[in-house]
Amino acid sequence: MGDATQNDSKVVVRGLGKVFERKGDGLVVLDQVDLTIAAGEFVCLLGPSGCGKSTLLNIIGGFEKPTVGSVTIDGAPVVGPDPRRVFVFQEYGVFPWASVWDNIAIGLRHLPRAERDARIHRYVELIGLEGFEKTYSSELSGGMRQRVAVARALAVSPDVILMDEPLGALDSLTRFQMRTEILRLWQKERMTILFVTHDVDESVQLADRVVVMSPRPGRIAAVVPIDMPHPRELGSPAYAALKTKLYELLSVTHAV
Ligand SMILES: Nc1ncnc2c1ncn2[C@@H]1O[C@H](COP(=O)(O)OP(=O)(O)OP(=O)(O)O)[C@@H](O)[C@H]1O
Ligand SMILES: [Mg+2]
């Protein structure tokens, strides 16, 4: 499969490098990163802690500037955040002083009332928080807050969705359910998804391609296509073989 073809490429990262300035010297976090993501593709970024996954996502989202190289989306250089691209942060991005309902409503103010309400309702249902609509986020559990963050991002029907370990704080059952829901929505709406995780299982369940990063400086060590139709048979030999391959790639990059 390899890189997406020129025609349907959505996100193009070319020769990207990032150096964080520190007193006296610089910390090279990303080096020579090249990545092309097709429109409607689901790509997982997999790598050990500190390898630069969040930094890469932040640059693609326009929250951080690269030191060298470029990012284009639909052929236009990324110069800052854009409402067509939404971000689900590693730390909870929900507003504690707002209710579940109001948090999901944030990106939907432009919609007519009835449509907006119907949509919020649908996403409250999706994340299993019926009955908590009026609850302040500060009164929710960590996992519930994280579900609100995912719902808020999906509710605006974004063109590109950048997810930074959005399911990290969830228990394994909720995590599994949310993955299934994210896949269902993606199959329906076909937005482009770049999803950061350090969970091998998660990447094999979700992605069209898994991009494996090596640490210090963060580089792309391998790109592994996951050529299995959804819903994937999580117990199948092909699934197990892909997991083994990814663990091997990760341990190799860890050892460097
Ligand atoms: N704003 C910043 N200023 C200086 N250094 C930074 C900054 N942001 C990140 N770094 C450094 O860049 C490196 C990569 O960080 P990053 O958050 O991108 O890693 P990550 O792969 O997302 O890790 P994790 O899996 O733990 O979230 C780390 O060494 C971190 O200390
Ligand atoms: Mg991170």
Cα–Cα distance for residue pair 77/7, rounded to 1 Å: 17
Distances (CA, A) of 50 to 56, 215, 221, 252: 11, 7, 15, 16
Residue 197's DSSP bridge partners are 46
What torsion, rounded to 10 degrees, do the Cα atoms 51, 52, 53, 54 define? 130
Per-residue pLDDT at 126: 83
Per-residue pLDDT at 92: 67
Q: What does each of the 256 residues of the chain score in pLDDT, given as a tens digit?
A: 445 444 589 999 999 999 998 887 889 999 999 999 999 999 999 999 999 999 999 999 999 999 999 999 999 999 999 888 898 876 667 898 999 999 999 989 999 999 999 999 999 998 889 999 999 999 998 888 888 998 899 898 889 999 999 888 788 888 888 898 889 889 888 999 999 998 999 999 999 999 999 988 999 999 999 999 999 999 999 999 999 999 999 987 654 4
User: Which pTM value belongs to this model?
Assistant: 0.90
Q: Residue with the nearest Cα to atom 16 of ligand 1?
A: 52
Locate tokens 């009332």: which residue?
Answer: 113
Locate tokens 């997999």: which residue?
Answer: 46
Cα–Cα distance for residue pair 96/99, rounded to 1 Å: 8
Element (H, E) at 11: strand 9-21
Per-residue pLDDT at 7: 59
Q: Residue with the nearest Cα to atom 2 of ligand 1?
A: 20
Cα–Cα distance for residue pair 164/209, rounded to 1 Å: 16
Q: Where are the domains of the chain?
A: 1-84+160-167+190-256
113 C-alpha vs ligand 2 centroid, how far in Å? Answer: 36
Element (H, E) at 41: none
Q: What is the number of the ligand 1 atom nearest to the C-alpha of 90?
A: 27
Q: Does domain 1-84+160-167+190-256 have CATH number 3.40.50.720?
A: no
Q: Residue with the nearest Cα to atom 29 of ligand 1?
A: 50
State the DSSP code for 5: P
